[in-house]
Amino acid sequence: MRTRMHVNIDVDDLDRSIAFYTRLFGAGPSKVRGDYANWRLDEPALHLALVSNPGYVAPPTGEHFGVELFDGDELVDWRTRAEAAGLELRVEQQVTCCYAVADKWWATDPDGNAWEFWVHSAEAESMREGTMPLETAGGQSCCVPAPPTAATPTDMADLEPC
Protein backbone atom coordinates (compact mmCIF):
# COMPACT_ATOMS: atom_id res chain seq x y z
CA MET A 1 0.00 0.00 0.00
CA ARG A 2 1.41 3.37 -0.99
CA THR A 3 0.68 6.41 1.17
CA ARG A 4 1.66 10.06 1.34
CA MET A 5 1.35 12.32 4.40
CA HIS A 6 -0.48 15.64 3.87
CA VAL A 7 0.60 18.82 5.67
CA ASN A 8 -1.15 22.17 5.14
CA ILE A 9 0.61 25.37 6.27
CA ASP A 10 -0.57 28.99 6.25
CA VAL A 11 2.13 31.37 5.03
CA ASP A 12 2.50 35.13 5.10
CA ASP A 13 4.46 35.46 1.84
CA LEU A 14 3.71 32.71 -0.66
CA ASP A 15 6.58 33.51 -3.04
CA ARG A 16 9.15 33.53 -0.24
CA SER A 17 7.80 30.22 1.10
CA ILE A 18 7.81 28.63 -2.37
CA ALA A 19 11.48 29.57 -2.70
CA PHE A 20 12.31 28.06 0.72
CA TYR A 21 10.48 24.76 0.16
CA THR A 22 11.87 24.40 -3.36
CA ARG A 23 15.36 24.59 -1.86
CA LEU A 24 14.50 22.35 1.12
CA PHE A 25 13.03 19.53 -0.96
CA GLY A 26 15.12 20.05 -4.10
CA ALA A 27 12.00 20.24 -6.27
CA GLY A 28 9.59 22.90 -7.39
CA PRO A 29 5.91 22.81 -6.52
CA SER A 30 3.52 20.51 -8.36
CA LYS A 31 0.85 23.21 -8.51
CA VAL A 32 0.91 26.98 -8.06
CA ARG A 33 -2.03 29.36 -7.99
CA GLY A 34 -2.16 33.00 -6.87
CA ASP A 35 -2.91 32.04 -3.27
CA TYR A 36 -1.75 28.41 -3.11
CA ALA A 37 1.11 26.03 -3.88
CA ASN A 38 1.63 22.33 -3.29
CA TRP A 39 4.27 19.65 -3.61
CA ARG A 40 3.41 15.99 -4.20
CA LEU A 41 6.70 14.39 -3.30
CA ASP A 42 7.74 10.75 -3.41
CA GLU A 43 10.87 11.32 -1.25
CA PRO A 44 9.74 12.03 1.37
CA ALA A 45 6.22 10.80 0.67
CA LEU A 46 4.60 14.16 1.38
CA HIS A 47 1.81 16.31 0.01
CA LEU A 48 2.73 19.75 1.30
CA ALA A 49 0.24 22.56 0.71
CA LEU A 50 0.96 26.23 1.34
CA VAL A 51 -1.98 28.60 1.65
CA SER A 52 -1.36 32.32 1.29
CA ASN A 53 -2.58 34.21 4.31
CA PRO A 54 -1.06 37.72 4.11
CA GLY A 55 -0.42 39.08 7.56
CA TYR A 56 -0.34 35.57 9.02
CA VAL A 57 1.73 35.40 12.19
CA ALA A 58 2.82 31.93 13.23
CA PRO A 59 2.84 31.00 16.92
CA PRO A 60 6.00 32.32 18.62
CA THR A 61 7.66 28.91 18.40
CA GLY A 62 6.29 28.10 14.95
CA GLU A 63 5.43 24.49 14.23
CA HIS A 64 7.73 21.47 14.12
CA PHE A 65 7.69 18.97 11.28
CA GLY A 66 10.11 16.16 10.61
CA VAL A 67 11.45 13.70 8.10
CA GLU A 68 12.87 10.51 9.58
CA LEU A 69 15.57 8.94 7.47
CA PHE A 70 16.87 5.42 8.02
CA ASP A 71 20.49 5.69 6.94
CA GLY A 72 23.24 8.11 7.98
CA ASP A 73 24.34 8.52 4.35
CA GLU A 74 20.81 9.66 3.43
CA LEU A 75 20.95 12.26 6.20
CA VAL A 76 24.29 13.53 4.87
CA ASP A 77 22.93 13.60 1.29
CA TRP A 78 19.86 15.65 2.31
CA ARG A 79 22.04 17.98 4.39
CA THR A 80 24.60 18.46 1.61
CA ARG A 81 21.86 19.32 -0.88
CA ALA A 82 20.17 21.74 1.55
CA GLU A 83 23.48 23.49 2.28
CA ALA A 84 24.27 23.70 -1.45
CA ALA A 85 20.83 25.30 -1.94
CA GLY A 86 21.88 28.02 0.50
CA LEU A 87 19.70 27.06 3.45
CA GLU A 88 20.93 27.92 6.92
CA LEU A 89 20.94 24.74 8.98
CA ARG A 90 21.39 23.77 12.60
CA VAL A 91 23.20 20.46 13.07
CA GLU A 92 22.98 18.19 16.09
CA GLN A 93 24.98 15.01 16.67
CA GLN A 94 23.92 12.21 19.01
CA VAL A 95 21.35 14.28 20.90
CA THR A 96 18.75 12.84 23.25
CA CYS A 97 15.21 13.97 22.52
CA CYS A 98 11.84 12.22 22.84
CA TYR A 99 13.40 9.12 24.43
CA ALA A 100 15.71 8.58 21.46
CA VAL A 101 19.27 9.41 20.42
CA ALA A 102 19.68 10.81 16.92
CA ASP A 103 21.81 12.76 14.50
CA LYS A 104 19.76 15.53 12.94
CA TRP A 105 19.68 18.86 11.21
CA TRP A 106 17.06 21.59 11.17
CA ALA A 107 15.93 24.24 8.70
CA THR A 108 13.42 26.96 9.57
CA ASP A 109 10.96 28.29 7.00
CA PRO A 110 10.16 32.01 6.57
CA ASP A 111 7.22 31.74 8.99
CA GLY A 112 9.26 30.11 11.77
CA ASN A 113 8.24 26.48 11.22
CA ALA A 114 11.10 24.12 12.01
CA TRP A 115 11.83 21.13 9.76
CA GLU A 116 13.87 18.35 11.35
CA PHE A 117 15.66 15.67 9.31
CA TRP A 118 17.05 12.87 11.47
CA VAL A 119 18.35 9.34 11.81
CA HIS A 120 17.52 7.45 15.01
CA SER A 121 20.55 5.64 16.43
CA ALA A 122 19.46 4.40 19.87
CA GLU A 123 16.72 4.44 22.47
CA ALA A 124 17.14 6.71 25.52
CA GLU A 125 15.87 6.53 29.08
CA SER A 126 15.05 10.25 29.26
CA MET A 127 12.96 12.71 27.27
CA ARG A 128 15.98 14.97 26.74
CA GLU A 129 19.53 15.49 27.91
CA GLY A 130 20.02 16.94 31.38
CA THR A 131 17.20 18.23 33.55
CA MET A 132 15.87 20.96 31.29
CA PRO A 133 12.11 21.58 31.55
CA LEU A 134 9.88 20.98 28.53
CA GLU A 135 9.77 24.70 27.78
CA THR A 136 13.12 26.42 27.48
CA ALA A 137 13.80 30.10 27.86
CA GLY A 138 12.42 31.94 24.87
CA GLY A 139 9.40 29.67 24.51
CA GLN A 140 11.07 26.91 22.47
CA SER A 141 9.69 23.43 23.09
CA CYS A 142 11.94 20.50 23.76
CA CYS A 143 13.78 19.36 20.67
CA VAL A 144 12.95 22.44 18.60
CA PRO A 145 15.90 24.76 18.07
CA ALA A 146 15.55 28.52 18.14
CA PRO A 147 15.39 29.94 14.60
CA PRO A 148 18.89 30.69 13.30
CA THR A 149 20.13 34.23 12.94
CA ALA A 150 22.85 35.53 10.66
CA ALA A 151 25.22 35.82 13.63
CA THR A 152 24.47 32.32 14.97
CA PRO A 153 27.04 29.60 14.22
CA THR A 154 25.56 26.29 13.10
CA ASP A 155 27.67 24.04 15.28
CA MET A 156 26.32 22.00 18.15
CA ALA A 157 27.84 24.11 20.94
CA ASP A 158 25.65 27.08 20.13
CA LEU A 159 22.26 25.31 19.95
CA GLU A 160 19.44 25.55 22.44
CA PRO A 161 19.74 22.34 24.48
CA CYS A 162 17.17 19.66 23.82
Whether 5-52 shares its CATH topology with 64-147 is answered yes
The CATH number corresponding to 5-52 among 3.10.180.10, 3.30.70.20, 3.65.10.10, 3.20.20.150 equals 3.10.180.10
3 forms beta bridges with none
Q: Residue 81 gets which letter from DSSP?
A: H
pLDDT score recorded for residue 146:
52
Q: Read off the pLDDT of residues 82-138 as tens digits, 9 standing for 90 and up.
A: 999 999 999 999 999 999 999 999 999 999 999 999 999 999 999 887 644 444 433
Report which residue type is found at 18: I
What rounded mean pLDDT belongs to the chain?
A: 85
CATH of domain 64-147: 3.10.180.10
**3-class DSSP state of 54:** coil
CB count in 10 Å sphere of residue 156? 12
